[in-house]
Structure 1
C-alpha cells in the first residue's frame, strides 16, 4: 500500500558523462529546466552529480582570485586548498563534468519508500536523488516535487485504497474521504478492529487524518 520511489520517479533523465564541458553542462541545465544532473561513467554507473552550485563555484572563485587583477598571498591560497574550501577551489578550476561534480552521489533504489527517500534528501540537503538499480546504473531520478505527488491523490482514489486496505465491505463499515481525511462510521464486529482499521487507513500514502465516528 505504501508508495515507492518507482511509483513517482522520472525515467526520462538528463545526464552527462564525465568528459562533457562546463558550457555543455550549463546549457543542459537551462534547456531542461533543472538544477542538477547525474554524471555517468562509460557503463552507465552514477559517479557524481553536477549542479548549478558546482558551476557557480567556478565564477565565485574566479572573482575572488582573479577579479580586478587581485591575487591573494600564497598563505591564503594554501589555506583555501584544504578542506571544503579547497574542494570548492578545485571545482573552480574544473572544465568538465567529472572535474566539477560532487562525488560520490547520493542515490536511492527504486523500491525505497517515499518516506525513506524524503528523509535521505533532507539529511543530505539535496532536492533530488538519482535512482539506480542493484548494479548502480541510472534508471531514473526522483525530486521533492515527485514525492509530494502522493498527497495529491483524489478522495475517490483514496477511498478505494482505504476500503481495500481495511476490507470495509466485509466488515460492514461506512467509509468516507474528504480532503484526504478518512472517516469510519458504524460499529466494528470485534473490539480490536477499530484500532487496526485506523492504523491501516493511516498508512495509505496521501491520507491526512483518520477518525472513527460511532452513531
Structure 2
C-alpha cells in the first residue's frame, strides 16, 4: 500500500522552466506550447528565483516594441512562493489558498526545482480507494498511536468518510484516534462510536 502524505507523492516531476535571460516572446511560446499559466525562473544552479506568469507578461513595459529585449528576470514575480517536496499536502493546499495560486514550484532542501504541484494534484488524494484509506488508518492506529494496551478498533471507510468503532482502554484516547484518522490523505470526515472495554 502506498501512503500519500507529502507533496512529493502527488507532484509532477517533469517541469518546464525558463532562465533569467529568457526573452518575452520565448516565454509566451513556452506557456502556449505546454498549456500552463506560469513558469518557474531558475538560476544557473537550479534554484528557483522567481515565477513568470501570464499576468506578469500582460504588465510588461509599454511603449515601443520592447518585447524583444524584455527578459524573464525583468518580468518575474519574486521571491517565488515555493513548497518543499517533504511538505504535507494540507500545508501546500493552505499555501495555495492564501496566495490564490494555481501551481507551486516544488524544491529540495537547497531550493532547487524538483517538480511542480497544482490544485488538481492536491485533489488527487480524494480519489484514493476507500480500501487504501482504511488500511492506512488501521496501520496508523496499530503501530504509531496505540502500541500498548487492549485496543479493539474497527475501521470502515465509505466515500472518504472513516467510521471508527470498538473499545479503547482510556476514553481520552478517542480524540487522539479521531484526529489521527482525520490526518490520513483522502479522509473527508470521521465518525466514531467507541466504548470502554468490558472488565474481566
TM-score category, normalised to shorter length? 0.7 to 0.9
Report the secondary structure of 1:191's partner residue: coil
Cα contact 2:56–2:76 (8 A) shared by 1: yes
Which structure has the greater CA radius of gyration? 1
1:4: which partner in 2? Answer: 6
The answer for the alignment partner of 2:40 in structure 1 is 38
CA distance in 1, matches of 2:78, 2:69: 14
1:172 aligns to what? 152
1-structure distance, mates of 2:40, 2:123: 22
What's the C-alpha RMSD, in Å, of the aligned pairs? 2.5
Distance in 1 (alpha carbons) for counterparts of 2:7 and 2:101: 16
1:123 maps to 98
* Greater helix content: 1
Displacement of 1:2 in angstroms is 7.3
Question: Please, which runs of 5 or more residues in structure 2 have no aligned partner?
Answer: 196-200
Secondary structure, in 3 states, of the residue corresponding to 2:84? Answer: coil
Equivalent residues in 2 for 1:56-205 (5 A)?
56-58=58-60, 62=62, 95-167=70-142, 171-205=151-185
User: What number of residue pairs does the alignment pair up?
Assistant: 186
Structure with greater proportional strand content: 2
What is residue 18 of structure 1 aligned with on the other side?
A: 20
- Structure 1 residues 214 and 48 mapped into 2: Cα distance closer, same or farther (>3 Å)? closer
Cα drift, residue 30 of structure 1: 1.2
**Equivalent position of 1:82 in the other structure:** none
What secondary structure, in the 3-state scheme, does the structure 2 residue paired with 1:42 have? Answer: coil
Instruction: String of CA shifts for 1:149-179, please: whole Å, max 9, x gaps.
Output: 22221111111011111129x7333221101
The runs of 5 or more residues in structure 1 that have no matched partner are: 67-90
- Of structures 1 and 2, the one scoring higher in RCO (CA 8 A, sep 6+) is 1
Which of the numbers 182, 187, 191 marks the counterpart of 1:207? Answer: 187
